[in-house]
Homo-oligomer: A and B are copies of this chain.
Amino acid sequence: MKITQVRNATLIIEYAGTKFLVDPMLAKKGIYPGFEGTPNSHLKNPTVELTVPMDQICDVDAIIVTHTHPDHWDDAAKSLLPKHLPVLVQHEKDREIIRISGFFDVRLITDGQFNGVTLSQTSGQHGTDSALSAMGEILGEVCGVVFKSPSEKTLYLAGDTVWNQFVQDSLDQFQPDVIILNSGDAQVIGLGSIIMNKQDVREVYKAAPQATLVASHMESVNHSMLTRKELREFSAENGMTDRLLVPEDGEAYSL
């Protein structure tokens, strides 16, 4: 497989001959206001420019949207992506939301396969239990996806989740070889981390002792509190550099 870190949680994953665009946020730098009630809300989103050309981003076979928060499915994506592209989503509610924008081929990840790639939907939790009870539907439902094919290693895209039992269960069930973690430690004021922080990444590193980890969703939205530099230093201090990759935007790995 080849994984290209585009920007934020946006990735291009080439897997068993099929190209998936994941969680497209495609606006140019600084179009949207920062997320209110989060750190650095005075910063505009996205905080950095796209580095991958739009024609490369649009040249995919399908789009996966793990959830419809605006940093994973933005107005630019709705407008710029070809409407005929299949979009794979977590549930009927997101299917309806995405159809509103004119995408007519919206499928459920739980259908179980795309182009011969076996897809399994996993659960996640976009924050701690207390954050979820405080923020309710704003944090809402998220998902991850496991990719399997006889010709590829097993890939687990965890999505917007903190480290918790859902992630442990997915590791137990699927024994992934490659794991993409949204690791930018996005925070809500008073509620803490709503995606993985560096300690969460370390927990996954320990819980999946054979897997290669790829850190995504970093340094691109206002409320992201963990820099790549800090994660790399933490990785070095904790002996994780052998299996933890921290790509820059535009960087790609063949795994």
Residues on A facing B (Cβ under 8 Å) = 27, 31-34, 36, 41, 74-76, 78-80, 96-97, 100-102, 135-138, 140
Q: Please, how many angstroms separate the alpha-carbon atoms of A34 and B75 in the complex?
A: 20
Given A36-B136, A36-B138, A137-B41, CB of A79 within 8 Å of CB of B101: yes
Q: Which residues of chain B are near A31, meaning CB under 8 Å?
A: 96-97, 100
Q: Say how many copies of this protein the assembly contains.
A: 2
Q: Please, how many angstroms separate the alpha-carbon atoms of A136 and B96 in the complex?
A: 30
A97 & B32 in contact (Cβ 8 Å cutoff):
yes
Q: Please, how many angstroms separate the alpha-carbon atoms of A121 and B33 in the complex?
A: 22
A135 partner, pick from B36, B80, B138, beta carbons under 8 A: B36
With both chains docked as a complex, state the minimum distance between the C-beta of A37 and any C-beta of chain B, in angstroms: 8
Q: Please, how many angstroms separate the alpha-carbon atoms of A32 and B140 in the complex?
A: 12
With both chains docked as a complex, state the minimum distance between the C-beta of A31 and any C-beta of chain B, in angstroms: 6
A33 partner, pick from B36, B102, B137, beta carbons under 8 A: B137
Q: Please, how many angstroms separate the alpha-carbon atoms of A138 and B80 in the complex?
A: 26
A140 & B33 in contact (Cβ 8 Å cutoff):
yes
